[in-house]
Each structure stands twice: as structure tokens, then as C-alpha cells.
Amino acid sequence: MKPENENTNLDELISKAIGDKKLAFNFQQWKKDHPKQVADYKEQTASKSHKLIRYAGILSAAAMILLAVMLLPTISDNDAQPVEYQAKILTAKISLPADVPTIAKLNIIFQKYDMQAVDTFCEQAANRTGLQPEKMTARQLLKEMETNSDNTEGNDHENRSYNNTDDMHNAA
Amino acid sequence: MNSELQTKLVNAAKSGNIECFGKLCENYYSTLVAIAYSILGDHHLAEDAAQAAYAKAITALPKLKDGDKFAPWLARICRNTATDMIKKKSRQYTTNDLSQLKAPDEYNDNRPLIRQAIKMLEPSEKEIICLRYYDQMSYQQIGEILGISSPAINGRLKRAKQKIAEYLKRNDFSEFEL
């Protein structure tokens, strides 16, 4: 912005009255004359750097703790279960695809042979996996049903003989 | 010094680079002396005040939050330092010294009268006159130091000069037309 109030004569008079001073500042000399202030400044700036480093350390430690707290339930989820239960799950996971009878397998065996063949298959599977049924077996259930029906109904499947377990496995 | 360079120097000085603080001191020295002179009315005392202001500034610098306000912050420290000095040395030096302290060749010139006219101004007017005519600062530079706009500076300078001219006229100073 161009000054609006230039009065050359007055400006010169004021400049001559108070100005015309060539000033130079010697900072090195000033530092020598003010050692205490310089030392305070250095101490402050140094402690500021140390504070920053310390805060960074605290922050990173806090982040690690937070991360550990977040991950802890995921890591210890399986550990919270009883040991026996974990063993059963492990056994089931390993033996399920090959040995444990499934509904589909049993259905195929029953359609191809008879109920007795189903029971035999289940018993063999139980022996291999170690998961013995605690309640009534299929064979016992079958006998009970036969007793109840009093042998009145004829069943073609009963007349079939079933001796070869390899056939059953092939069928499964 | 452009504002970008100044901001870099201020940030470096805040981080502990004392040489950057030295560069800033060299840049603002005459400005601070002008501000102190407007209060103390003596060149030597004004230089002492500016250097004492630097001593205060260097210890307070790490706590300065806004680096962009460095110049007004430094000017405020200098103003307070000069005011403290004039309070402490009120018996020895007053603003009357603007007219009383004479160099040997000044007895027959008009400078004491003009200094007396400046002494009669308001503190803010004295300060702006000193920044403009002691340090030969531009309106933009004055604006950065005082934190006011160029039109405001222009208006304040105009009023100050008018008062000086009126004072000189009342004292039979007829070297220029008002």
C-alpha cells in the first residue's frame, strides 16, 4: 500500500531526529554476555527432547499392552475348556471323516443289507475311535424291538446273511 | 526475511538450534531497538533493552506455542522490558530525555524539539513513529510486528505526524508548511 500521508520535509526531520543509526547485533558476543540464559535454553530444549522420547516409549508400551489385551481372549479361548472335553473334540476332529458313522453311511448300509449290518458297522466304528456308546446299542435296541413285535412281521432283510465287513466298508 | 524462512528458523530454534535463534535476533535487532527507543528515548538504553529482551526470549522460546506469532511475541517482550527499565530507572532516565540527551553538535539544530514533539505522543503513536523513522520499516513490516493492517498503520502514522506538526507550529518551528 502506498503511504497517503507522506510529507517529505517532516519525514526527513523525524528521521534525522531519531534515526540515522546503523545498528548491528553481534550474537556471539551476546551469548558470551548471557551464559545463564543460554544454559537454561539448552537445558530446556534437551529435556523437551527427552520428554518426547519418554512419551514415545510409554505410548508404544501402552499400545503393546492394548494389543495383548485384545488378543488374549482369542488365544486363551481353547485353554478355557476342560482337558477331557478338548481331547474329545480333538479325537472327533481326527476320526470323523473316516471312522465315525454318519447318517448317510448308515442309510446306505441299511438299504443295501439290514439293521444288523448297521449295528455291526457302528460297533466296529466305536471300537476304532474309542467312542463307546454309553446307552443302549443298536443291537440291543433291535432285539428289544424284535421281542416287542413278537416275531410277527416278516422281514426279507433278516434272511440275508451278513458276514463280510469289507463289503460294508465298501458300501460306506 | 520471508515468513516461510522465519517459521523454519523459529521451529529450529524451539528445538534447540541456538544459531537459528541468533539469525532471528540479528533480523529483529533494529526493530526491537526502535520499540525500546520509543519508550526509553535513549539509543544506548534501547539497545540494552533489546538485548535484555533477547535474554528473556531465549528462555521462553521453547514454550512458544504459535511460531507464526514470533515477531509480535518478541516485540511484546521488548516493550515490557523497556517499560520495566524505565520504572526501575525513573529517577535517572525518563522519556523527557528524548529532548534532554544531546550530542555535542545538536545544540543549534531542531532535533531536540522534534524529539520533544514525539515524546508528547501516545505510546502506540510513538512506537509506530519509531518503527517507521528509526528503523525505516515498511508498512508491511510494521504490520507484522504490531499485528495491524496497513490502512490502520497509515491512519495511526497520519495522526502522529499531525500532532508532531502541530506541536512544532506551536513552538514557532516554521521550516515546513503544515
CB contact under 8 Å between A1 and B130, yes or no, is: no
Predicted TM-score (pTM) of the model is: 0.58
Identify all chain B residues contacting A28, using CB atoms and an 8 Å cutoff.
22
Q: What is the largest CA-CA distance in chain B?
A: 57
Confidence class of residue B4 from pLDDT cuts 50, 70 and 90? confident
Residue of B nearest to A4 (CA): B154
Which is more confidently placed, B88 or B48? B48
Interchain pair B115, A17: CB under 8 A: yes
Quote the percentage of chain B above a pLDDT of 70.
Answer: 87
Query: Is there a contact between B16 and A33 if contact means CB atoms under 8 Å apart?
Result: no
pLDDT digits (tens, 9 = 90+) for B57-104: 999 998 888 888 899 999 999 999 999 998 887 655 555 555 454 444
Q: For residues A18 and B115, is the Cβ–Cβ distance under 8 A?
A: yes
In chain B, the residue whose alpha carbon lies closest to the alpha carbon of A36 is B55
Q: What is the pLDDT averaged over residues B2-31?
A: 89
Q: Can you give the pLDDT at residue A10? A: 84
Q: Which residues of B touch A (CB under 8 A)?
A: 14-16, 18, 21-22, 25-26, 29-30, 33, 37, 43, 47, 51, 54-55, 58-59, 61-62, 110-111, 114-115, 118, 129-130, 133-136, 139, 150-151, 154, 157-158, 161, 164-165, 175-176
Provide, as residue numbers in chain B, all residues whose Cβ is less than 8 Å from the Cβ of A15: 133, 136
SS3 for B34? helix
State whether A10 and B134 contact (CB < 8 Å): no
Residue of chain A minimizing CA distance to B113: A17
Inter-chain CB proximity A45 and B55 less than 8 Å: no
Contact B114 A19 (CB under 8 A): no
Within 8 A of B59 by CB-CB distance, chain A residues are 37, 40-41, 44
Interface test with B, best of A5, A14, A51 (most B CBs within 10 A): A14
Question: Identity (one letter) of the amino acid at B128?
Answer: I
Give the pLDDT means over successive 10-residue stretches in chain A (172 positions): 59 82 85 90 77 73 80 60 55 52 79 80 76 65 68 47 50 50
Asked whether A11 and B136 are in contact (CB, 8 A), the reply is: no
| Confidence tier at B53 by pLDDT (50, 70, 90) | very high
Q: Which three three-digit cell numbers place residue B69?
A: 506469532
Please report the pLDDT score of residue B2 as a whole number: 77
Q: B17, B20, B56, B58: which to substitute to probe chain A, counting the most A Cβ within 10 Å? A: B58
User: Looking at chain B, which residue has its C-alpha nearest residue A21?
Assistant: B134
Q: How far apart are CA A148 and CA A142, in angstroms?
A: 10
- How many other C-beta atoms can be found within 10 angstroms of the C-beta atom of residue A120? 19
DSSP line for B83-104: HHHHHHTTTT--TTHHHH---G
Q: Across the interface, do A13 and B175 touch by the CB < 8 Å criterion?
A: yes
Are A34 and B58 in contact (CB < 8 Å)? yes
- Find where cell 432285539 sits: A143
Q: How far is A20 from chain B (nearest CA, A)?
A: 7
Q: In angstroms, rounded to a whole number, what is the distance separating the alpha carbons of residues A106 and A102? A: 6
Task: Using CA coordinates, name the residue in chain A closest to B24.
Answer: A27
Other C-beta atoms within 10 Å of A150: how many? 7
Question: What percent of chain B stands above pLDDT 90?
Answer: 40
